[in-house]
Amino acid sequence: MTSMVVLGLSIATVLLLLGAFLATLRQDRKGRTAEPPVEVAPLETPLPAPVGVVGYAGSDYADPRTLKVGDGIEVHGSPARVLGAMYISWQGQEWTEFLLRDTARRRQWLSVETRQGDPPHLEVFMWTEVPTQGMVPAKSMIVMEGVEFFPIERGTAAFRSEGDTGLPERGLLDFADYRASDGRLLSFERIQGGSWTASYANPLAPGSIAVVSRAP
C-alpha cells in the first residue's frame, strides 16, 4: 500500500514537472514571437542622371548651339564675329559650322554638334586650314605633316547655308574625317564636287566662347 502511494506521488511529481516545463516553453516561444521585427532600411534608388548636354546643362556658360549669324563673340577672349553658318545633316546626324572672322580679318570655321550617348555631349571644334598640296582623302591611313591619321567617318551630307559663306544656299558636302593616335583630328571637305580642303580640329572646352552682342 505504501509503495503504491509513493509511486502515485512520483508520477504526480513527474507530471507537475513536465507541465511546468511545457508552460515555460510556451511562454518562451510566445515571448520571442512578441518581439518587434527588425526593420530593414529599404535600398536607396539612385537619382536619375540630369537630362542635358555634358558641360552646358545648368551652367552659366554660353551655349554654342544658340549662336546666330551676326553675333559678336569672344573665343578664349579674342573678339570675332559670326559671318555665316552651314546647317548640315547626314544619316540622322546634324551639326552646324559657323564661319567666324576675327579682328585680323582671318576666317575660321567653328563646328558644333550634339553627340548622342548616355548622357549626350556637345562637341565644339575650331578648325584651322592646312595646305593639302593636292592630297585627296584615302580610305586608309594617310600622313599629314609627318603624323599618321586613320579614317573614322566619311560620307556625303546635305547642307543649307546662311549669311556670308560664299557657298550656295543649298547643296552637298563630301567629307572624310581622320584621327591620329594622340587624338588629333583632321577633316577633308569639298563642296559640290569642288576641290578638297583640309583642316585640323582644336577642341573648345565649355566656357571658351562668350557672347558679347546678339544680332538684331
The reply to whether 56 falls in a domain is: no
The domain of 156 spans 64-213
The count of structural domains within the chain is: 1
Share of the chain above pLDDT 70, in %: 72
At position 126, the amino acid (one-letter code) is: M
pLDDT at res. 59: 59
Range name among 24-38, 78-92, 175-189, 198-212 with the lowest pLDDT average: 24-38
At position 15, the amino acid (one-letter code) is: L
Query: Torsions phi, psi of 141, nearest 5?
Result: -65, 140
Give the single-character DSSP code of 65.
G
Of 80, 62, 61, give the one whose Cα is nearest residue 71.
Answer: 80
The reply to whether 21 falls in a domain is: no
Q: Give residue-wise pLDDT tens across range 36-74.
A: 333 333 333 332 322 334 445 545 788 999 999 999 999
pLDDT at res. 93: 92
The reply to whether 30 falls in a domain is: no
The structure's pTM equals 0.72
The reply to whether 140 falls in a domain is: yes
DSSP string computed for 151-210? EEEEEEEEEEEEES-SS-SEEEEEEEEEEETTS-EEEEEEETT---EEEEEEE--TTSEE
Decide: 88 and 158 in contact? Cβ < 8 Å: yes
The reply to whether 162 falls in a domain is: yes
Share of the chain above pLDDT 90, in %: 61
Range name among 7-11, 34-38, 61-65, 76-80 with the lowest pLDDT average: 34-38
Of 72, 84, 133, give the one whose Cα is nearest residue 108.
Answer: 84
Residue 191: pLDDT over 70: yes
Of residues 10 and 133, which shows the higher confidence score?
133
The reply to whether 82 falls in a domain is: yes
Decide: 203 and 123 in contact? Cβ < 8 Å: yes
Q: Give residue-wise pLDDT tens across range 197-215.
A: 999 999 999 899 999 999 9
Of residues 30 and 156, which shows the higher confidence score?
156
The reply to whether 40 falls in a domain is: no
> CA 90: distance to chain centroid?
20
What is the C-alpha separation between 139 and 154, in angstroms, rounded? 9
Range name among 50-64, 70-84, 127-141 with the lowest pLDDT average: 50-64
Decide: 83 and 69 in contact? Cβ < 8 Å: yes
Decide: 93 and 113 in contact? Cβ < 8 Å: yes
Of residues 169 and 52, which shows the higher confidence score?
169
Residue 134 banded pLDDT, cuts 50, 70, 90: confident
Residue 86: pLDDT over 50: yes
Decide: 153 and 146 in contact? Cβ < 8 Å: no
Q: What angle do CA 207, 177, 91 make, to 5 degrees?
A: 90
The reply to whether 110 falls in a domain is: yes
